[in-house]
Structures are given as structure tokens and as C-alpha cells.
Amino acid sequence: MCKRNKYIFLLGLIFCSKTIRAQDLNFSQYFNAPLVVNPANTGFNPDYDYRVGGNYRNQWWAANSTPYKTMSVWGDTKLFANRFENGWMGIGGSLLKDEAGRGSLSRTTATVSVAYHQMLGYKSLLSAGFGVGYTAKRVDISKFSFDNQWNGKFFDVGIPSNEPFAFSQVGYLDLQMGLNYAYFASENAYFNAGISVMHLTRPNESFFSAGISDDRLNLRYSFFANASFKLQDLWIVNPNIYYSQVINKKELVMGFNANRNLSGDGMQQMIIGLYVRNTEAIIPIMGYQINDLKITVNYDATISKLSNPLGTRGAYELSIVKYGIFPSSAGKSVKCPTVRF
């Protein structure tokens, strides 16, 4: 292996390891993956009865022939909206999968979440949510080469690796909870913020036996805040900020996206935006919404020290979200105001 290829491979391995250990969620469009961000977002959809979505992210493809990929599908709906005068419940689920590296390291997490949303007066809404998930994590150890297998000229997979792997796959249950608060200042202004805690059970996801490694997940704390401002019935501007921390590893994404009314009635909208992640990437966003279907793409342009080997090539991402109203709910008013065209 030439030095250049070895360097690129090592970079890819370091990137994947860092991402797996540092964060569970790695969507730049976190606002288009609401159930993955905070279980209190479940059913928080004032204008509609249900929504479904999908996300796909391909990361560091320029540094590794097997890039880090993250995919999710999710959906939620309201419950008992007609039984509670000033509130409602929401139930939803998400399926999140990521893959990384030559060893086909993968993790698949299925989560079910519930939330309750209570109006506080006419302009405030408090939400609390809880989620339970099951994660299956696996790796193909036969695809790796280890130092003990170097015979002086090449890696010989016929030589025992002497690595103390006890499992090639592990599974565990996990819990999460979160709170949201929304303030509807007027038909032209809206504010929302939420906090969540993941890995409440601190499960062990090590491929080694307990006597060798106790690789328990640490608590992950997340915070988000956003707002919506309608400008002259032509634009709705959404500033956003997302912060996540696991021990001393931190992620900060902030910026804005804006919807331009193209049809006059809001049925067709152009979406543009710009975000920054820490000092690592600049993230331009573009999208289009027609009726109740929204498609958004973004590109993460690397600006950190990694830009030397990678240039600006970081990641690309796609999200698709579909909103809907049940026939039995047609014509009914929503319980809280929203900013919309």
C-alpha cells in the first residue's frame, strides 16, 4: 500500500471511529429528523395530523472507499386531540442505521416514542416525551487485518490475530426523554426550544467480554432552539441552533433556512439556508416544497484542518418529509397558532 493510500485509509478509520464514539446523530438537517433529536417532538405538528420522513447522509466519501453513511425513516401522529380540550398526545417511531468502514461496522436502532402536549394559556405549549429503543450493532471481523498478521511483506489473514473479540454483534435496550417549550407570539412570530437526554440506561456496546472492556455509552445531552418570522407574506425565516454534548465532545450547528412563497397561497415554496458546524463545515441548503411534500438537500463543505487532504469535500445529505391530514379532521381548527403562509 503506497503512503498516500495508507494515509487516506487511516484518515477514514479515524473519522469513523471518532463519529461513532462522539455522537449518535449526525444529520446537518437535524430539524428534518425531529424524533431523532428529541422524543418530546413526537406529535408536535400543529397544522397536520401526521408526518413521515426519511433522511440519508453520506460522509467522508472523498477519504474512504467505504464512507460513513447514516439513514433514517420516521413517522408520528397525534392521538386524543378531540378528547383533551387544551392538549393532545403523540406517538411515533424511528429507524436509524449507520454503516462505516471496511469491516462493515453497522448500527441499527429502532425507537418508539410518546409525548404529551399541553397548552398553557393561549400562546404557550409545554411538551414532554419519552422513548425506548433497541440497538443492534455488528461488525465483520474477518475483513480486518491486525498487526500480528503482518509477515514482513503483507498482511496474512491465515495468521491468528490474537485479538480478544468475544462477539461480532451486540444488542441492547436504551431509554431517552425530553422537554419542549413553544411560545406563539403572533401569527408572524414563533419561538421553540427543547432539551433531551439519551442513553439513560448507559448500555454496554463492546465487542469484547466484560472482563476486558466495559464500553458503556455515556449520557448525551442535546439542546435546540428555533424561531419563525413571517416577512410580508413572501418569506418565513427560521433561525436554528443545535447543541449536543457527550462528556467533553461537543457539537454545535447553527444558522437559518428561509421559505419563499412561490404560489401566493404557500402551496409551492422554495427553501434556501446556510449553517455552520463548529469550525468544521459550512453547510448550504436548498429545497422545494409542493403542497404537503418537502424535499431538502445540503452539502457540508469542510473548512477545518481536514480540508488539506479532503479539499472542501465533506458530506451530502437528503431529507424528504410528507405531512398529512386525516379525512375525519378536515376543516377542524388547530389548538395552537402557527406561522404559515
pLDDT tens figures, 174-216: 999 999 999 999 999 999 999 999 999 999 887 776 667 677 8
State the Cα–Cα distance between residues 215 and 165, nearest whole angstrom. Answer: 13
Low-confidence residues in the chain, pLDDT < 50: 1-23
Q: What is the pLDDT of residue 206?
A: 73
* DSSP line for 12-73: HHHHHHHHHHH-S---TTGGG-HHHH-GGGTT--TT-SEEEEEEEEEE-TTT-SS-EEEEEE
Cβ partners under 8 Å of residue 237, min gap 6: 228, 229, 231, 256, 258
pTM of the model: 0.82
Q: Which residue is listed with cell 378528547?
A: 83
Q: What is the pLDDT of residue 47?
A: 84
In the CATH hierarchy, which fold is given to the domain comprising 3-329?
A: Porin (2.40.160)
Cβ partners under 8 Å of residue 133, min gap 6: 109, 110, 111, 112, 173, 174, 175, 176
* DSSP line for 280-320: TEEEEEEEEEETTEEEEEEEEEE-STTHHHHTTEEEEEEEE
pLDDT tens figures, 327-336: 876 656 666 7
State the Cα–Cα distance between residues 176 and 114, nearest whole angstrom. Answer: 11
Q: What is the pLDDT of residue 144?
A: 67
Q: Which residue is listed with cell 445531552?
A: 221
Cα–chain center distance at 216 = 21
State the Cα–Cα distance between residues 220 and 178, nearest whole angstrom. Answer: 12
